[in-house]
Amino acid sequence: MFLTASELSRFASRYRANLMNTISGYKSANLIGTRSVEGINNLAIFNSVLHMGSKPPLLGLLFRPLTVRRDTYENIKSTGYFTVNAVDKTIFRQAHQTAAKYAQDTSEFEATGLTEKFIDGIPAPFVKESPIQLGCAYENEYPIAENGTLLVLGAIKTIEFQDTMLQTDGSLALNRAEIVSSVGLDGYALPTLLERLHYAKPDIPTRSLEDGTQEN
């Protein structure tokens, strides 16, 4: 099927959103934990967490236009902190349920049965059930003029993960913790690792990384 932008613009809003949210491929699935100044804990699923860089360790979080109430954004701005928690196969339904429009004084932890966890120095709730838990501090934001979205940058301050995932080269085997990926607006998928590959070099055929060690 072939479509132009003008054909696309004539689709119903929901149909177009479903198509647009799937055409860029699989996304990450993370729960963002925040706390309001009134002490209400908030939890929200995001599929727009972006690795921004390793030095310094930075994540991006794309927010939809702030034309409606965005508790997560307000909490990040007022406390300066948020947590990022990977979604695995055991909690993806609860993670999805955090997207419901609960009242502002309702904690999505209580509503969904996920468990709050706190550590010193990070005034935002982690998700105890999550296999990867990142504590982040607000760093900056970039308003996107073209559509009113907002890219919020966070500096990673703490990292906690299940030991079994760690490989000798520092990478995490996401499949060992059954971490899921997100598909469009409402789908969840469990990836199976096909292969890790050596860094590509001209004139050397693509090679599988079977021993876990990259040549530089």
Alpha-carbon gap, residue 18 to 35, rounded angstroms: 31
Minimum CB–partner distance for residue 32 and a second copy (Å): 12
Please tell me the number of Cα atoms within 13 Å of 150 on its side-chain side: 15
Q: Which lies closer to a second copy via its Cβ, residue 34 or residue 135?
A: 135
Q: Which lies closer to a second copy via its Cβ, residue 35 or residue 45?
A: 45
Q: Which lies closer to a second copy via its Cβ, residue 75 or residue 122?
A: 122
Picking from 151, 121, 122, 125, the residue whose alpha carbon sits closest to that of residue 139 is 151
Minimum CB–partner distance for residue 164 and a second copy (Å): 10
Minimum CB–partner distance for residue 215 and a second copy (Å): 11
Q: Which lies closer to a second copy via its Cβ, residue 74 or residue 178?
A: 178
Spell out a b/e string for 187-215, using b for 16 or more CB atoms within 10 Å of the CB, else e.
Answer: bbeeeeeeeeeeeeeeeeeeeeeeeeeee
Minimum CB–partner distance for residue 195 and a second copy (Å): 6
